[in-house]
Structure 1
Amino acid sequence: MTLSQLPLPLILPNNENFDSFYVGDNQLLFDSLQTLFDKEGFNVFYIWSASAAGRTHLLHASSQNKLASYIPLKQHVLLVPEILQGLDNYDLVCLDDIDAIAGHRDWEEAIFDLFNRLTEKNVSKLLITASAPPKQIPFMLPDLVSRLTWGQVYQLKELNDEDKLKALQLRAKLSGFELSTEVGLFLLKRVNRDMRTLFSLMEEFEVATLAQQRKLTIPFIKHILDL
């Protein structure tokens, strides 16, 4: 097996864990995911949502203290389906953005085969993310769609503006600085409001506040972002 075919170890961001995830209207999903490893044998957990709603964050959080493998299927053109070989030896297998390989028969067959191996060994957990429920993704293999619905399927609901503010304040608190309601609302009005962009900005603000030993204010944000 070549280097490009080896399963990818999961490199976890330090700030993407269950404590830093703002639940919003996703309490049932959140609670169920946290108890996934309490269940015996092979289990499938499928999360779908709009882009940048936080499903990869949950994938990373679930992988804490686990022997986990992460396959970013949006990058399937840089990988080969053989990368899925041997994954039945992991505690957790993470297939991120499975809809990206829909219509690619070699990948679909490889994932179907992975399901069969995991089922036979009956140990690992399989955590899958996508942009839509299994039956709404144009897979070529009906049997793969069937496998994807074996376990729990949840929609990760997007945060409203009030919850986005609370999520940003939580991230700021965990990063060691304060985001006031006034500053947070200003930010939500002036920049792209998807959570991936907002959290990237929070990392930038963390560095700036530490470097300059300043509180995060609206004038300071304008200076940082050149607004």
Structure 2
Amino acid sequence: MPRQLAFDLPVRPALGRGDFFVSPANALAVAQIDAGGWPAGKLLLIGPEGAGKSHLAQVWATETGAEVLAAADLPEGPAEALAVVVEDVDRIAGDPVAETRLFHLHNHVLARGGRLLITASAPPRTWGLVLPDLASRMEATAQAALLPPDDALLSAVLVKLFADRQIAVAPSLIPWLVTRMDRSFAAARRLVAELDAGALARGGPVTREIAREVLDSAARQTP
């Protein structure tokens, strides 16, 4: 149902498997996660902001009963679950306390025969970890990569972002946007948020005219 434009409704991301669009840009990573049997029971999922790391990790967590934790908020004690997702591990680099907690969680889960899915935006060698033992374990972890989006995936991401905001748009607007926008997941998020704000300000639907204004404004701000 289209959103009522008089109200700024909250965004409710859809995170089920059916909401995750598989394309050549992410098919290998999806296959690696689904296959299981990860070397040493752990896998590092790498991809840029908005690439679907959290979505894919949540799908796996739902299907396996895994506990989902943010790397910056890891508990001091051991995790009880045998399957654990730790998100945004690269963000704790340089924090000795957080790194130590991840090191102990890593060892505890795997020593019990559990599985560990870790997400980050780049390979471990770029993180700048200060704990050598953790760095060596992360660098030895098998990796699955979410690649930059192709047209099909970028189109699907736009459709999902609009749906998360309960915005109905003309189907022809999606390919029109794909050929003109910056080709990244982060750009898609910004674009949909700005189109939403523009439509709310005008009290009407998202139109090509609004989209053209938003894209032109972004182009003028680009150095």
1:46, distance to aligned residue in structure 2 (A):
0.3
1:115, distance to aligned residue in structure 2 (A):
1.6
Aligned to 2:15: 16
1:157, distance to aligned residue in structure 2 (A):
0.5
Q: 2:144 aligns with which of 151, 154, 159?
A: 154
Alpha-carbon contact 1:169-1:179 (below 8 Å) kept: no
Aligned to 1:120: 111
Aligned to 1:100: 91
Alpha-carbon contact 1:69-1:90 (below 8 Å) kept: yes
Matches within 5 A, 1:4-83: 15-24=14-23, 25-36=25-36, 39=37, 43-73=41-71, 76=72, 79=73, 83=75
The reply to whether residue 131 of structure 1 matches residue 130 of structure 2 is no
Shift of the 53–118 alpha-carbon distance from structure 1 to 2, 3 Å rule, reads same
1:150, distance to aligned residue in structure 2 (A):
4.0
* Residue identity opposite 1:33 in structure 2: I
**After the TM superposition, which of the residue ranges 182-191 and 168-177 deviates more from structure 2?**
168-177
User: Deviation string for 1:171-215 (max 9, x for gaps)?
Assistant: 7689795652x301444467676435635838x97xx9xxx9x8x
**After the TM superposition, which of the residue ranges 40-49 and 140-149 deviates more from structure 2?**
40-49
Shift of the 138–41 alpha-carbon distance from structure 1 to 2, 3 Å rule, reads closer
> Runs of 5+ in structure 2 lacking a partner?
1-11, 218-223
* Residue identity opposite 1:168 in structure 2: L
1:42, distance to aligned residue in structure 2 (A):
6.4
Q: TM (normalized to structure 1)?
A: 0.67
Once residues 96 and 40 of structure 1 are traced to their aligned partners in structure 2, the CA distance between those partners, rounded to angstroms, is 18
Aligned to 2:100: 109
User: Deviation string for 1:45-66 (max 9, x for gaps)?
Assistant: 1011222222112112211144
User: Deviation string for 1:77-122 (max 9, x for gaps)?
Assistant: xx4x5x15231x2143121111111111122122111122112211
Alpha-carbon contact 2:76-2:101 (below 8 Å) kept: yes
Aligned to 2:134: 144
> Runs of 5+ in structure 1 lacking a partner?
1-12
Shift of the 108–156 alpha-carbon distance from structure 1 to 2, 3 Å rule, reads same
Aligned to 1:7: none
Q: TM (normalized to structure 2)?
A: 0.68
Shift of the 220–132 alpha-carbon distance from structure 1 to 2, 3 Å rule, reads closer
Matched residue SS, 2:91 = helix
| Pairwise CA RMSD | 3.9
